[in-house]
Amino acid sequence: MESVRKIIHVDMDAFYAAIEQRDNPELKGRPVVVGGSSKRGVVATASYEARKFGIHSAMPSSQAYRLCPHAIFLKPRFSIYRAVSQQIMDIIREYSELVEPLSLDEAYIDASENLKGMQYASKVAQDIRRRIQRETQLTASAGVAPNKFLAKVASDMNKPDGLSVIVPETVSVVLHKLPIRKIPGIGAVTERKLHKLGIRTVGDLRAISERQLIGTFGKMGSWFYRIARGEDRRAVIPHRARKSMSVERTFLEDLSDKFEIEQKLRFLAEELEERLSKRSLRGRTFTLKITYSDFEKATRSITTENAISSPDQFLQMGLELLKKTEVGNRPIRLIGIGISSFLGDEEEDKGPPPSETQLSLLGRDRLEPAP
């Protein structure tokens, strides 16, 4: 018999927005929307007050503006968020050697053998929440369960500032109505496929036989079968901070047309921006990677003083660097772009943010909602 693991998932509440409200008391209790700095202008997160208007992450800022014109729109201050994240992760690491950060504001903790010798994982979770609150003046929610999947489901159950525990006896009740999108490995495409089969909740999924799931989804099918029953054996894997982020495409047929290559680059630029902003990473080095049709590789990079952070900038730099390769004259089979030299680690805390009046004077520090 495997021993039962005690897994905790900690997730900060309205992370970016909560930090903005903490640092500027005038924003407390008000709808605050923190938005991406790219041209596409999407909402990174919204305070719980703004969520009442239907505003949520990944929504176009223009739509958020229509839903709540009196919301306060702010540009993200990544270096501050990274510093707070560091503080939180340091607290968490006092409790276990097995900590796996998922993003700036989220981590799994294996508390089975915690460093404080506490018997109950729920006590560990409460302790962590209390310390985060005391040391950062921010609230975190936590979930405690026998595995990662259930711990993450649990942390979502009592948000904000809540703690939930899922024990084996409550698994099926808790999962019954959970939308399948919450299952790790189910993205938009698989979700659509399952919806077509009339499967919308984990309860629906549970009614399908393992054979049928494997028949339709292959290996993934047996993962779905187990996860629908709350079974998840993934380990908490502590990892080091990431040093770079990149995206690439290998083509079915080698490409030599400059216009087509530029199109590919455009897609990659958007994709890279999305991945970076998900993890709130910004860096100063841009790298272009090419593999020619004969497998010879070429990389070119640029390092700048400030963060390179919009898809437009990625595209500009990509095109600039392409000129320094043989692209156009020689067919390529792969193109990739990436960002490294991340900001935050070496960057100093810039102190408290300007007050609201200063903010409105500094037009550029406000996120301009599209008309």
- List contacts with ligand DCP (CB under 6 A): 11-16, 44-45, 57-58, 103, 105-106, 159-160, 277-278
Task: State the catalytic residue, choosing from 106, 346, 347, 356.
Answer: 106
Transcribe 269-320 into DSSP letters.
Answer: HHHHHHHHHHTT--EEEEEEEEEETTS-EEEEEEEEEEEE-SHHHHHHHHHH
Which of 11, 110 has the CB closer to ligand DCP?
Answer: 11
Which of 128, 332 has the CB closer to Mg ion?
Answer: 128
As a whole number of Å, the CA-based R_g of the chain is: 23
Q: Is the distance from CB of 359 to CB of 366 less than 8 angstroms? A: yes
Helix (H) or strand (E) holding 217: helix 210-217
Which of 142, 261 has the CB closer to ligand DCP?
Answer: 142
Q: Which does 147 bind (CB under 5 to 8 A by kind): Mg ion, ligand DCP, none?
A: none
Q: Is the distance from CB of 66 to CB of 243 less than 8 angstroms? A: no
Region of 97 (left: φ > 0; alpha: ψ -120 to 50; beta: rest) is alpha
Q: Which does 45 bind (CB under 5 to 8 A by kind): Mg ion, ligand DCP, none?
A: ligand DCP
Q: Which does 57 bind (CB under 5 to 8 A by kind): Mg ion, ligand DCP, none?
A: ligand DCP
Q: Which does 291 bind (CB under 5 to 8 A by kind): ligand DCP, Mg ion, none?
A: none
Distance between the two ends of the chain, CA-based, in angstroms? 61
Q: Which does 277 bind (CB under 5 to 8 A by kind): Mg ion, ligand DCP, none?
A: ligand DCP
Q: Is the distance from CB of 327 to CB of 290 less than 8 angstroms? A: yes
CB of 262 to ligand DCP, least distance (A): 27
CB of 104 to Mg ion, least distance (A): 9
Pairing of strands 7-12, 140-145: antiparallel
- Where helices occur in 2-120 by DSSP H, the ranges are 15-23, 48-51, 61-67, 78-93
CB of 253 to ligand DCP, least distance (A): 34
Task: Classify burial at 290, counting beta carbons within 10 Å of its beta carbon; exposed 0-12, middle 13-18, buried 19 or more.
Answer: buried
CB of 30 to ligand DCP, least distance (A): 16
Q: Is the distance from CB of 320 to CB of 302 less than 8 angstroms? A: yes
Which of 15, 225 has the CB closer to ligand DCP?
Answer: 15
CB of 89 to ligand DCP, least distance (A): 14
List residues binding Mg ion (CB under 5 A): 11-12, 15, 105
Residues 6 or more apart whose CB falls under 8 angstroms from that of 124 comprise 6, 8, 95, 96, 109, 111, 114, 116, 118
CB of 47 to ligand DCP, least distance (A): 9
Which of 46, 255 has the CB closer to ligand DCP?
Answer: 46
106 is catalytic: yes
Which of 57, 63 has the CB closer to ligand DCP?
Answer: 57
CB of 15 to Mg ion, least distance (A): 5
The C-alpha torsion from 157 through 158 and 162 to 165, rounded to 10°, is -40
Distance CA 234, CA 265 (A): 35
Q: Which does 109 bind (CB under 5 to 8 A by kind): Mg ion, ligand DCP, none?
A: none
Which of 57, 190 has the CB closer to Mg ion?
Answer: 57
Point out which residues pair with 289 in neighbouring strands. Answer: 299, 336
Buried b / exposed e along 43-78 (16+ C-beta atoms within 10 A): bbbbbbbbbebebeeebebebbbebbeebbbbbbbb
Active site residues: 106
